[in-house]
Structure 1
Amino acid sequence: MAHSTLPISATILVKNAQDTLRECLDSLREFDEIILLDNGSSDETLTIAREFNATYGNLVIHTSGFIGFGALKNLAVSYARNDWIFSIDSDEVLESATLARLKELFGVPKGADSKDRDSKTSESSALDSQTPQTPQTPPPNTLFALPRKNLYKGEWIKACGWYPDFVTRIFHKGYTRFNDHLVHESIILPQDSKLMRLECGLRHYAYDNITHLLQKLQAYSSLWAEQNTHKSASPLKAITRSIWSFVRSYAFKKGFLYGYKGFIISVCNALGVFFKYMKLYEIKLPKKPHSCSLIITTYNQKERLALVLDSVRDLAVLPTEVLIADDGSREDTRELIESYARDFPCPLRHIWHEDRGFRLSAIRNAAIREAKGEYLIIIDGDMILHPFFVADHLAFAAPRVFVQGSRVIVDSPTSESMLQERQEGEKSEKSAYKRVFALGGLKAKRCGLLSRLVYATSRVDSKVFAKRELIKGIRGCNMSFFKSDCEAINGFNEGFVGWGREDSEFVARFLFAGGALRRLKFGALAYHIYHPENTRDLLESNHQIYLETIRTKATFCQKGLR
């Protein structure tokens, strides 16, 4: 390295920077080294870089895909041979006064010119070659911040938060580095660092026009949202913060002094804030399923099943498919299902196994294995569905969330009347089930506001078992979850035979695996056709299986889907 050059490596990230790169590089010609890291340019950027190097010989070109601005800048620094780094953007130009000041700070002799770096004709050059001198450099913990003149359409804008704009750009690579932010990266400032602000700095060709401004706004707001998923976001926050951004830029930071340019910059500042938070809000929205399987369990209740299938046929939003999980019904149930399947509005399949007693877990698992939907809704074969039943379940679907729906009990006289009417008009009357929609009080009514409130405030996780043994209100007659979450805990426990606790045990494993239970009321309404309760002869033995799951905090059952 000749003493006439700055003992600093300048690093530049470039992508399609042909409009500003030539002037940027020309301002760096007296640096000992320039590291240019290209991010896939398709214009004349690399041609300009090679022409510059042919003249000055101090530029090295490297390439990389986009890995985030912070990571790219650290990568460029890793290629530098000097300890001191000057990071500059391709749309920035180092002012001549700043260059002169850096020469003073780094001990470069006055009057030295990079064009004479290899000359050995003068007596002083010969003397230098015989007596090497180390240029004076600042302590490694010194960092330098430079003021930027931000230009819009060539005009220096001293408002809208664009001035003063100090950027820390010069540092010792053995002392610190850039953080790894995708966008709005910065140099890490250790506690013992000393920041020196120079009085002269950079000229920054920030934006050429509105199109240029909007293009950067969209790109940077997307990267910001991807980077800040730990933050909260909402439409209200996006609106209020964007309004405040405009008021602050245009009024308090005097954007109005620059006419239409100040107005455009202030509006785009506000839009940038709005899109940042709205994009973050969309990223943080729960994943919604693309497909849904409705599983209906049944056992020798074809009359009730017919009413249920009538209600499914009339749903406002249909599931991707309907699977009848049949725990060993007689031939008449199969015939009923086949008659419906001929003209049903979505695929209707019959999943059956032999009648060997109450084996609800086993037939559910059989249906789940056959299900093609990403999301599963499971009901009993005596639950009449509100027209928005599936739509409501999908609206509240979220990964690792078990949604517990509620039921509305239909009294015995109404149930018998519906069944009688459906049987008498089996070929012509398909709307007998609709009378249930007029039953019940507030609990039987659909209300979006109340359902969202209950859902938001009803979260239960595995910590609940430190206080209680059993979660009340777990009912398998109306529940939903992602199929992948069900598979992760191996489905329903087929160790349960007879009625009782199979649903509670499934939910316990779901929670121990890191999931959550949320309740859905005033939405996804299902009306339970009255019938005598199942025998509870095996409840005690089933309860012991459940207690063992609680005791061991099991997340997997040995006899399940797999």
Structure 2
Amino acid sequence: MPKISVIISTYNQPEWLRKVFFGYEFQTFKDFEIIIADDGSTDETKDLIVDFSKTSEINITHIWQDDEGFQKTKILNKAILKTKADYLLFTDGDCIPRQDFVETHYNLKRQNCFLSGGYFKLPELISKAITIEDIKNQNCFNKDWLLSKGLKSSFKLNKLTVSGFKECLLNTFTPTKATWDGMNASGWKADILKVNGFDERMQYGGEDRELGERLMNLGIKPLQIRYSAICVHLFHTRGYKNAAAEKANLFIRKETKSEKRVWTKYGILKA
């Protein structure tokens, strides 16, 4: 039985997913499985997974559903049921993990808590420039390498460079609240099942955070590790953004907070 199940959501981004796979290939912590939560990709993604699995020792399970628009919450719920570990780490198929990513989540996990990690967004040209060797050598997490490729310097680079006391200090005093962000969050499978997983009414826009809000209503405390557990987020457009769906999601989240909801009737179990 793996100690962690890593759930990676994806939709028609095989070029990025391939780079993400190699990010997990070079992890310092090896006792994990990958569950691909595929929201209706074409066979190109399936072929990539099959080819990668032939040479990798990572156990990869591909969960696929028909393409019916943005239905990430539905495929994530299906993926949760396929996990073998007691602890689940959620991320996206366009986020390359630093080599200590899984190890950090495993070491920092706590009972009655979930972890809220960070990510560093990359522009399109740098995203495309990253090679497998750059992932193996961790160049894509190296400040000097990124600056040499044209990245503009900013305070956010601290996510890639800090360690020790400064890392703890920034985790503690960051103005960003610890939330369940689907790019980088982890929690106990038992807790996620207690709130019935993701609300499948929700499309893009806060659908991940709503799960975290129900976990907090349950008494699960969010822990901020955005300067500790790091992935780089590869560039992509968001053609699935939908103003009406975002408005509906805000209404659901408002009800979750005001009514202190723990359980959704529209999750893993339909009741």
Q: Same fold (TM over 0.5)?
A: yes
Q: Is the 1:328–1:352 contact (alpha carbons within 8 Å) kept by the matching residues of 2?
A: yes
**Which residue of structure 2 lines up, in the alignment, with residue 356 of structure 1?**
68
State the Cα deviation string for residues 289-340 of structure 1 (Å, max 9, x = none).
Answer: 9710011100000000000001110111124211111011001100000111
The alpha carbon displacement at 1:342 in A equals 1.4
Rounded to whole Å, the distance in 2 between the matches of 1:549 and 1:367 is 23
SS in 1 for 2:55: coil
- For structure 1, list consecutive stretches of 5 or more residues without a partner in the other structure: 1-288, 423-429, 461-470
Matched with 2:251 is 544
- Tell me the equivalent position of 1:483: 189
The residue matched to 1:321 in structure 2 has which SS? strand
Q: Find the aligned partners of 2:158 and 2:170 in 1 and give their Cα distance.
A: 14
Query: Aligned AA for 2:207?
Result: E
Partner deviation per Cα, 1:202-250 (whole Å, 9 max, x = no partner): xxxxxxxxxxxxxxxxxxxxxxxxxxxxxxxxxxxxxxxxxxxxxxxxx
Give the CA deviation at 1:446.
Answer: 4.7
Tell me which residue corresponds to 1:381.
Answer: 93
Q: Distance in 1 between matches of 2:187 and 2:76?
A: 13
Q: Cα deviation per residue 1:105-126 (whole Å; 9 max; x = unaligned)? A: xxxxxxxxxxxxxxxxxxxxxx
Deviation at residue 455 of structure 1 after TM alignment: 5.2
Q: Is the 1:298–1:380 Cα contact (8 Å) retained in structure 2? A: yes
Is 1:529 paired with 2:234?
A: yes
Q: 1:449 and 2:154 equivalent?
A: no
1:324 matched to which residue of 2?
Answer: 36
Identify if the C-alpha distance between structure 1 residues 455 and 488 changes in structure 2 by more than 3 Å, giving closer, same or farther. Answer: farther
**Separation in structure 2 between the aligned mates of residue 346 and residue 307 of structure 1, nearest angstrom:** 15
* Cross-structure match for 2:126: 414
2:133 to 422, 425, 431: 431
For the 8 Å contact 1:454–1:519, the answer to whether it is kept is no
Shift of 1:475: 2.2
TM alignment of 1:295-334, pairs within 5 A: 295-334=7-46
Does the CA-based 8 Å contact 2:2-2:31 persist in structure 1?
A: no
1:494 has 2:200 as partner: yes
Aligned-partner residue type, residue 526 of structure 1: C
Query: Aligned pair count?
Result: 252
Q: Are positions 1:561 and 2:268 aligned together?
A: yes
Question: Secondary structure of the equivalent of 2:115?
Answer: strand
Q: How does 1:217-366 map to 2 (within 5 A)?
A: 291-366=3-78
Letter in 1 for 2:212: V
Q: Specify which structure has the bigger relative contact order, considering alpha-carbon pairs within 8 angstroms and separated by 6 or more residues.
A: 2
**Counterpart Cα distance in 2 of 1:394 and 1:489:** 22
Write the deviation string for residues 449-497 of structure 1: whole angstroms up to 9, x where unpaired.
Answer: 3444455678x9xxxxxxxxxx68652100000111111111111111x
**Structure 1 residues 536 and 448: CA distance shift in structure 2, 3 A:** farther
Distance 2:3 2:179 in 1: 27
Identify which of 377, 384, 405 aligns with 2:117: 405
Amino acid at match of 2:227: F
Q: 1:397, 1:472 → 2: CA distance? A: 14
Structure 1 residue 536, shift from structure 2 partner: 3.2
The answer to whether the 8 A contact 1:374-1:484 is kept is yes
Structure 2 spans left out of the alignment, 5+ residues: 147-152
> Residues 310 and 448 of structure 1: is their aligned pair in 2 closer, same or farther, counting only changes over 3 Å?
same
For the residues of structure 1 that align with 2:162 and 2:50, how far apart are their CA atoms? 32
Name which one, 1 or 2, has greater alpha-carbon Rg: 1
Any residues of structure 2 matched to 1:38-49 within 5 Å, and which? none
Specify the code of the residue in structure 1 equivalent to 2:224.
R
Q: CA deviation at 1:395?
A: 1.2
**What amino acid sits opposite 1:443 in the alignment?**
K
- Matches of 2:178 and 2:223 in 1, distance apart? 13
State the 1:432 CA deviation: 4.0
One-letter identity of the residue aligned with 2:82 = E
- Kept after mapping to 2: 8 A contact 1:294/1:319: no
SS at match of 1:524: strand
1:519 has 2:231 as partner: no
How many Å separate the matches in 1 of 2:178 and 2:112? 20
Contact (CA 8 Å) 1:450, 1:522: kept in 2 or not? Answer: no
- Aligned amino acid, residue 296 of structure 1: I
Query: Taking structure 1 as the reference length, what is the TM-score of the superposition?
Result: 0.43
Partner amino acid, structure 1, of 2:251: Q
Once residues 216 and 223 of structure 2 are traced to their aligned partners in structure 1, the CA distance between those partners, rounded to angstroms, is: 11
Name the counterpart of 1:55. Answer: none
Contact 1:380 1:477 in 2 (8 A): yes
Alpha carbons of structure 1 residues 296 and 511: separation in structure 2 relative to 1, 3 Å? same
**Compared with structure 1, are the counterparts of its residues 514 and 506 closer, same or farther at alpha carbon in structure 2 (3 Å cutoff)?**
same
Q: Shift of the alpha carbon at 1:559?
A: 1.6
Mapped partners of 2:6, 2:222: distance in 1: 19
Identity of matched residues, %: 29
Contact 2:20–2:94 (8 Å) recurs in 1: yes
Separation (CA, whole Å) in 2 of partners of 1:523 and 1:552:
33
CA-atom RMSD, angstroms? Answer: 2.2
- In 1, Cα distance between equivalents of 2:102 and 2:247: 34
Q: Which amino acid aligns with 2:197?
A: G
Q: Answer yes or no: is the 8 Å Cα contact 2:178–2:222 preserved in 1.
A: no
The one-letter code matched in structure 1 to 2:253 is Y
